[in-house]
Structure 1
């Protein structure tokens, strides 16, 4: 069951402020999605940001709109990051498969060469004894399988020669199959590389748009936003987790690792140990406990048993948004540790900071 221990007075005050800030950002993001069709969907500067760039003061409403747009861009960048992570994981797997196939093909080629060498010795012996049997020429050809389809050819071979020829035939066919499979995987790998590059550009474009908007804000508003983003959970948000017990030894080790990462910067595509994105943090934390998790938040949603929120225990993965584009780790007392977004640091936040898609127990 979720613990309802009271936090310390200091922790309670700061947790309340974070909850209010999170709710305000969520409300602003929702308002942004309802903007008229004249809003720029590409993430370009809004009118308030343009006015600030042009040297005109922006009022409070404009500043809130720009801040909401930054939050929206960061959310979109996180979705693109998880797509990048998934494509990158698939290409790594394909590279390993291609490498294994190439190694197998090299070993099979060596075996084919050895068989040909032995058959060459047979041919040399026949030549020295008075002539080269046409069937033995078959054995030395580059593609003997076409001739092998004729049963009469095998009838002309001795038992030893037929055995060697069958072995060569099987090895040659296996080699060709391995080469075809390797070529198919290489084609998939090229597609995967292009997909990785596409998602990488998408992330970079959205982050650059967010940075332009932030730079266009008045210095006071920008400083306030960045101060809130840098909250690292060490000096400002320290929930009372004393007495909280994880469901298993592995979960306890993962929770300890996640809590030790509090304060580390968010970096998209990163899996630690010095920087993380959201799924990189949970993957790294469980790896410290000897448990292998998939790379993306979408895949992590299916990496264990589904648990209702009322039964959440420390170490459970909390998956957010309908598209499962964000993940945090439940650490007890209604709190998660997560890597929020670019510019922020790994920190504690209330488990209900955004809509929950699923809770998974690895």
Structure 2
């Protein structure tokens, strides 16, 4: 007959542990549910975070611009060096052919000298070092051999320089790619945050920025606004400023230099180009051009003005503490107060 055993009862300790764990799980779930509504950042919090991301993206953009400019210069320099090397090699071959003809002529007359054989060697330097042999050469042969020597040395230097620049170009292209990826990542993160806002919240932020820009335009001397102690800029500065004014409303696009979109240094370099003045491409390089102006009170309309410790932002002074600039992604070329840029004024430059 089968035996019936009583089922084993869970111990009091085990029951207590399970009960405690279950209670903790319920509490955590409740806390998460209660916290969920507050996880969505407020409109102002989103704006603050987005502004920071855009600032970082713009700093990376200026580094990207610098790397791109360097890459383009290196490509031109390498092309020139390679063309020079090719032409130099042709000239060297012609000189060697001339030496060969001289040697052939001497051979036909039975007067070829053993030293002439050295003319055709790949190392004429070795021959020239042997001064005792120089007496056996004609003046024409000596002159030709010296040209061969000089040409070989020049070609060696150009090839070495080209090799170095090719290595530099490869490193620069890698930097270019990294900065481009960095900019894209920052912009994507900013857009993700903006997507958390409602349509009404986005509209409120846009209206706030538009209102600030209108106020800045109203106050700017360069727009015919309030008069003040600021003196007008030079003829070319005024022309550059007028060019920038003509692009009000054009969208910011990182790496762009016009004519339909701009980043901050793209706008300033384009504006001065319209005035017939060439300035560097990046904000950092532009900050080292012309006469430095350290006081806002000494600025004139059209002066370049620089912000942030790393000088990654630049605009054109519009008077009364206002500027025209291309602020950041998602915005357009506009007037803005220097007090709302988000970074300290470093100095101005009068080109």
Structure 1 190/232 Cα, relative in aligned 2: closer, same or farther at 3 Å? farther
Conserved? CA contact 1:115–1:164, under 8 Å: yes
1:361 and 2:343 matched: no
| 1:156 positional shift | 2.3
1:342 and 2:296 matched: no
Distance across 2 between alignment mates of 1:120 and 1:228: 82
Task: Determine which structure has greater relative contact order: mean sequence separation of CA pairs < 8 Å that are 6+ residues apart, divided by chain length.
Answer: 1
RMSD after superposition: 2.5
| 1:135 positional shift | 2.3
Q: Which of 311, 315, 325 is matched with 1:328 structurally?
A: 315
Q: Per-residue displacement from partner, 1:202-226 (whole Å, max 9, x unpaired)? A: 1111111111111122333234335
Q: From the CA coordinates, give the structure whose radius of gyration is larger.
A: 2
Distance across 2 between alignment mates of 1:283 and 1:247: 17
Alignment partner, residue 99 of structure 1: 79
Structure 1: runs of 5+ lacking an equivalent:
1-50
Distance across 2 between alignment mates of 1:120 and 1:127: 10
Q: Which of 190, 194, 205 is matched with 2:185 structurally?
A: 205
Greater CA drift, 99-108 or 290-299: 99-108
Conserved? CA contact 1:84–1:269, under 8 Å: yes
Greater CA drift, 128-137 or 290-299: 128-137
Q: How many residues align?
A: 308
| 1:229 positional shift | 5.9
User: Helix, strand or coil: the match of 2:88?
Assistant: helix
Q: Which of 201, 214, 229 is matched with 1:221 structurally?
A: 201
Pairwise mapping of residues 1-362 of structure 1 onto structure 2 (< 5 A)? 57=37, 62-130=42-110, 132-226=112-206, 237-239=217-219, 241-242=223-224, 246-307=232-293, 308-354=295-341, 355-362=344-351
Q: Per-residue displacement from partner, 1:309-358 (whole Å, max 9, x unpaired)? A: 11111111110112111111002233210001101000001133232011
User: Helix, strand or coil: the match of 1:302?
Assistant: coil
Distance across 1 between alignment mates of 2:101 and 2:118: 14
| 1:242 positional shift | 2.3
- The two structures have a TM-score, normalised by structure 2, of 0.81
| 1:232 positional shift | 11
Alignment partner, residue 7 of structure 1: none
Greater CA drift, 151-160 or 182-191: 151-160
Structure 2: runs of 5+ lacking an equivalent:
1-31
Conserved? CA contact 1:318–1:359, under 8 Å: yes
Alignment partner, residue 28 of structure 1: none
| 1:86 positional shift | 1.2
Q: Per-residue displacement from partner, 1:117-169 (whole Å, max 9, x unpaired)? A: 21121122122223643322221223322333222332321222111111111
| 1:235 positional shift | 11
